């Protein structure tokens, strides 16, 4: 690409939304690679590299009390 455009997306960390409101409570996170499924073979190595681990990343929040 030319023109110097930068494309960014996602959130920096799991607790990011807690800064938005006191009603947002981080509960848990998981990724596709955390289960170490045998059928994934060498893809399981992604779980050891943070930036690759979070390719399939899910965060779990509670909103409110």
Domain ranges of the chain: 29-63
22 or 11, greater pLDDT: 22
**H or E segment and range at residue 31:** strand 24-31
Residue 1 has pLDDT above 70, yes or no: no
Residues facing 30 on adjacent strands: 58
Task: Give the model's pLDDT for residue 32.
Answer: 76
Task: Give the model's pLDDT for residue 43.
Answer: 76
CA dihedral for 35, 39, 41, 46, sign (positive or negative): negative
Euclidean distance between the first and final Cα of the chain, in Å? 47
What confidence tens digit (pLDDT) does each residue in 16-64 have?
999 999 999 999 998 877 777 787 787 777 777 777 777 778 999 999 9
CA distance 20 to 27: 15
Q: Which residues have a Cβ under 8 Å from the Cβ of 61 and sit 6 or more positions away?
A: 17, 24, 25, 26, 27
């Amino acid at each position: 690409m030319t023109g110097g455009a930068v494309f960014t997306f996602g959130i920096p960390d799991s607790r990011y939304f807690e800064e938005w409101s006191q009603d947002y409570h981080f509960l848990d996170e998981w990724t596709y690679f955390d289960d170490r499924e045998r059928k994934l073979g060498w893809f399981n190595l992604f779980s050891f590299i943070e930036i690759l681990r979070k390719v399939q990343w899910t965060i779990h929040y509670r909103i409110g009390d």
